Amino acid sequence: MRGGMKDVYFGPDKSYVVAFYRDKQDYNSRERLKKLVTQYYDSFFNREGGDYYKELYCWPTDMVEVDGKVGLVVPAYNKNFFFKKGYATSEGIKGKEKQGLWFASAKFRNKQFALRLDESELGNWLSYFQIGVRIARGVKRMHAAGLAHSDLSYKNVLIDPVSKSATIIDIDGLVVPGLYPPDVIGTADFIAPEVLATKHLNLRDPNRKHANRTTDLHALAVMIYMYLLYRHPLKGGKINSLDTEEDDLLSMGEKALFIEHPTDTSNRPKLDQVSKWALPWADVTKLPYTLTGPYLKTLFDQAFVTGLHNPNLRPNADTWEQALLKTTDLMQPCSNAHCNQKWFVFDNSASPKCPFCGTPVKGTVPVLDLYFEFKPTVWKPENHRLMVYHNQYLFQWHVNRNVVRNEKLTAEQKIPVGYFTFFQNKWVFVNQKLTSLKDLTEDKEIPVNTMVDITDGKKLLLSKEEGGRVVVITIANK
């Protein structure tokens, strides 16, 4: 295959490819590529947790040279990153790579659009939170190593909503700050405003902004917003210039404005101007960003309001990871079997319903607020809650604040410790593994393999160990 800068050849057994640069690589480029396949490869993969990252990056493993041309040996993508089916109406994209762009646009999931993706490839709304977590972890690890991707976009991230996996590609463009400048300014839609606003300056001008860690953070925020809401956060109805090219440059650069800015509504999408395939997602009044829940709303405000033109205020990748994970604890399955999204973030309003299909929430919903011991006998709220649904699991990371839900979890820590279920017309929690679970309201121990009623106002101590939490229960939608 012929890419933008390289010619790509499969290895004999198709387990790897060799990508040769068409242009001659200078000394600096060679040194950078050499570092990527030796020093950085080693620090990412040949240590504890390395296997997790092998799935997360498509990282070059070796550098070769033939007839003066430099090539990189790169593992072939996993089978799940290729479309198994074509468009819903034709074979079209069968066998093509699952670039993220297919999943970040409303039209490819619109039932009336001829080139829509087959439903079996789309996953559900929860899938995209789990994909977001993986991408955030990938960015977090690169930044921890002092690297920036430089061209983070839905073209350079392959995703599979079915297996909820993602892999970051085009690693050979990684930027080592102060050592190797970026080759590109990025992919349209994901380039940070400050890079676009200064791209007219000379390449070596000290005022010109280049791809770096904070521009990655802009791209990460855009990607998460698009995977959850299927629209671009900056592409609205405001016109900044009658010249189309200049308008695009201003709207994404110097004059960039969040389409859902809380006080300046001038860039709201104009519904009479958007494509019919983009609906209902283009309607920010019907499907506002607040439906992603309180943690993500806060981060979208930081990324697209306070941090849009102030790069140092953008949320870092770890903050995105934790907010996405905490939001999955607020989710409820939709009771409508035909709902496209299948999941939604429960909001504790008077008559809660799925925002996507309008189906009301049936029955009561227990809400568990997590508390931690600030100092002996003083318990403080953790700003973390768990919405309960039938047959939902409880995990160690809920029980103890010293167990952090990240890529370093052991297999043992991923085993549920109990589950909630609606049994004989009431909510109960079945304790499978908690050795010091206590009902504080009734002042009694809850041994392993017994259950406790989940009622309004009840307090449970999940663990007596250091870091163990208390939960306070509220019954919503009574």
Phi/psi of residue 18, nearest 5 degrees: -120, 125
Q: d(Cα 64, Cα 75) in Å, to the nearest integer? A: 14
pLDDT for the residue numbered 218:
97
Helix (H) or strand (E) holding 250: helix 244-252
Residue pair 175/212 in contact by the 8 Å Cβ criterion: yes
Mean pLDDT of the chain: 92
Dihedral class, residue 148 (left if φ above 0, else alpha if ψ from -120 to 50, else beta): beta
Checking 29-32 for CB contacts under 8 A at 24+ apart, the result is: 29/70, 29/180, 30/63, 30/70, 31/180, 32/174, 32/176, 32/179, 32/180
Q: d(Cα 41, Cα 43) in Å, to the nearest integer? A: 6
Phi/psi of residue 11, nearest 5 degrees: -70, 165
User: Tokens for 306?
Assistant: 């306070």
Helix (H) or strand (E) holding 131: helix 125-144
Task: List the one residue out of 176, 180, 283, 272 whose CA is nearest residue 231.
Answer: 283
Beta bridge partners of 421: 428
Q: d(Cα 379, Cα 369) in Å, to the nearest integer? A: 12
Q: d(Cα 119, Cα 130) in Å, to the nearest integer? A: 18
Q: d(Cα 105, Cα 286) in Å, to the nearest integer? A: 17
Selected from 3.90.930, 1.10.287, 3.30.460, 3.30.200, the CATH number assigned to the domain covering 1-76 reads 3.30.200
Selected from 2.60.200.20, 3.30.450.70, 3.40.190.10, 3.90.1150.10, the CATH number assigned to the domain covering 363-476 reads 2.60.200.20
Residue pair 365/388 in contact by the 8 Å Cβ criterion: yes
Q: d(Cα 78, Cα 82) in Å, to the nearest integer? A: 8
SS3 451: strand
Q: Do domains 1-76 and 81-329 have the same CATH topology?
A: no
| 4: exposed, middle or buried (Cβ count in 10 Å: 0-12, 13-18, 19+) | exposed
User: Tokens for 83?
Assistant: 């479309």
Residues in the chain, pLDDT under 70: 177-181, 183
Q: d(Cα 155, Cα 161) in Å, to the nearest integer? A: 16
Beta bridge partners of 8: 19
| 295: exposed, middle or buried (Cβ count in 10 Å: 0-12, 13-18, 19+) | buried
User: Tokens for 421?
Assistant: 């279920």
Residue 68: which residues within 8 A CB-CB, separation 6 or more? 24
SS3 28: helix
DSSP code at position 184: -
Dihedral class, residue 36 (left if φ above 0, else alpha if ψ from -120 to 50, else beta): alpha
| 3: exposed, middle or buried (Cβ count in 10 Å: 0-12, 13-18, 19+) | exposed
Beta bridge partners of 63: 72
Q: d(Cα 316, Cα 143) in Å, to the nearest integer? A: 9
| 272: exposed, middle or buried (Cβ count in 10 Å: 0-12, 13-18, 19+) | exposed
Task: List the one residue out of 167, 416, 193 whose CA is nearest residue 308.
Answer: 193
Domain range 81-329, CATH architecture:
Orthogonal Bundle (1.10)
Domain parsing of the chain, residue ranges: 1-76, 81-329, 363-476
SS3 117: strand
Beta bridge partners of 474: 367
HSE-up of residue 215 (Cα within 13 Å, Cβ side):
30
Q: What share of the chain is helix, strand, coil (3-state, %, to 5)?
A: 30, 20, 50
